[in-house]
Amino acid sequence: MRVTHLAGAIALSALMLAPSAANARASGAAVDDPTICAIFDAANTWDIETSDIAIKKGSTREVRDLAAMFSRDHKAVRQQGRDLVKKLSVTPTPPKDFALATDHEQAMKTLQSTSGKAFDRAYLTHEVAYHKAVIDAITNSFIPATQNAELKALEVKVGPAFQAHMLAAQRLLDGMAE
């Protein structure tokens, strides 16, 4: 059940801040490329952190293998984002209301305090929700707001792989119910 060719899948985990984008639009502010770049980097880092915990604490080989793939993919795509930021001479600017930073802290606490099958379920549930949020943000907030063609191309390129990551986590989660 291993998902392949997902090196680009995680790039847009940074884009999971669709609520921040919606808040910005409601207030009349636009989400700009430097903000998208900052979100991009943070969200990739966050999924690396949650997946690195799962590599160590997952109770099944399938969960540990999925977490290793997610961590590896996020690291590769985070680096692609960082390379693009450097190439474009962009200074990433985190949003003022970075609500998902708090969500990430809570996810980390939950993952650090659980073990066994409860850990696996918490990790997989988090990954499914995380990737669903990313897909929504990519589609509805960030691609329409992105001005730089190279950044937009990266976002578009990784979208389908994000879907594959979400489905892989969902399949494992569904298999736990059996």
pLDDT digit of tens for each residue in the chain (178 aa)? Answer: 222 222 223 333 333 344 444 444 433 446 899 989 998 888 889 999 999 999 999 999 999 999 999 999 989 989 999 999 999 898 888 877 767 788 889 999 999 999 999 999 999 999 999 989 878 887 888 899 999 999 999 988 888 888 889 999 999 999 986 5
Query: Side chain identity at 67, as an amino acid letter?
Result: A
pLDDT score for 177: 67
pLDDT score for 40: 84
- Asked, for residue 62, whether it belongs to a domain, the answer is yes
4 φψ region: left (φ > 0), alpha (ψ -120 to 50), beta (else): beta
Alpha-carbon distance of 98 to 94, in angstroms, equals 7
Q: How far is CA 172 from CA 111, 128, 136, 150, in A?
A: 17, 10, 22, 34
Contact indicator for 135, 163 with CB cutoff of 8 Å: yes
pLDDT score for 10: 31
pLDDT score for 12: 34
Our count of domains for the chain comes to: 1
- Asked, for residue 162, whether it belongs to a domain, the answer is yes
- Asked, for residue 17, whether it belongs to a domain, the answer is yes
3-state helix, strand, coil in the chain (%, to 5): 80, 0, 20
Radius of gyration of the chain, Cα coordinates, nearest whole angstrom:
16
- Per-residue buried b or exposed e for 24-43, using 16+ beta carbons within 10 Å of the residue's own CB: beeeeeebebbbbbbbbbbb
pLDDT score for 27: 38
- Asked, for residue 116, whether it belongs to a domain, the answer is yes
* CATH code, 73: 1.20.1260.10
- Asked, for residue 127, whether it belongs to a domain, the answer is yes
> Tokens standing for 163?
């879907």
- Asked, for residue 106, whether it belongs to a domain, the answer is yes
Closest by CA to 55, choosing from 120, 126, 131, 130, is: 120
- Asked, for residue 3, whether it belongs to a domain, the answer is no
pLDDT score for 178: 59
- Domain region containing 155: 11-176
